[in-house]
Amino acid sequence: MDDKIKVEMEFPIHASPQLLFQYISTPSGLSEWFADNVNSRGEVFTFIWDGSQEKAKLLSKKSGERIRFRWMADEEDGETYYFEIKIQVDEITKDVSLIVTDYIEEDEMEEAKMLWENQISDLKQVLGSA
């Protein structure tokens, strides 16, 4: 398999960090924008899209700040790839951004970036900040 490339994308977003954290860290919040449905049992989150499902392990969570997952398929393959959604607040302007870190195969780069842009766009609509 090709090595994946670490990519960071920044999305300015008009919402309080506390509210935003609910949408990136809870199954109900993630169900609003990231997947059709999300369930969790302990550290394992199940993401459901159009009848297919993917499981991800919660690697770390820092309240009000960030959440990091690893897809179980990568975990089973012994891969260390993860995806992280981090809330960043500019100390001076107080502008809020979401920083998405993901590992993407080179030939899927544009498609993956577009997917994240669409997901974040859905999140902004849910938050009323579109």
Place 51 in a pLDDT band, splitting at 50, 70 and 90. Answer: confident
Q: Is the dihedral of CA 102, 123, 34, 38 positive or negative?
A: positive
Residue 28: half-sphere exposure toward Cβ, Cα within 13 Å: 2
pTM, 2 dp: 0.93
Dihedral (C-alpha) 84, 115, 87, 19: value to the nearest 10 degrees? -120
> Would you state the pLDDT for residue 130?
63
List the structure tokens of 89.
């607040």
Q: How far is it, in rounded angstroms, from Cα 58 to Cα 44?
A: 6
**Nearest by Cα to 82 from 6, 16, 3, 2:** 6
pLDDT digits (tens, 9 = 90+) for 93-114: 999 999 999 999 999 999 999 9
**Interval 30-47 mean pLDDT:** 96
The domains found in the chain, sorted by start residue, are 4-127 (3.30.530.20)
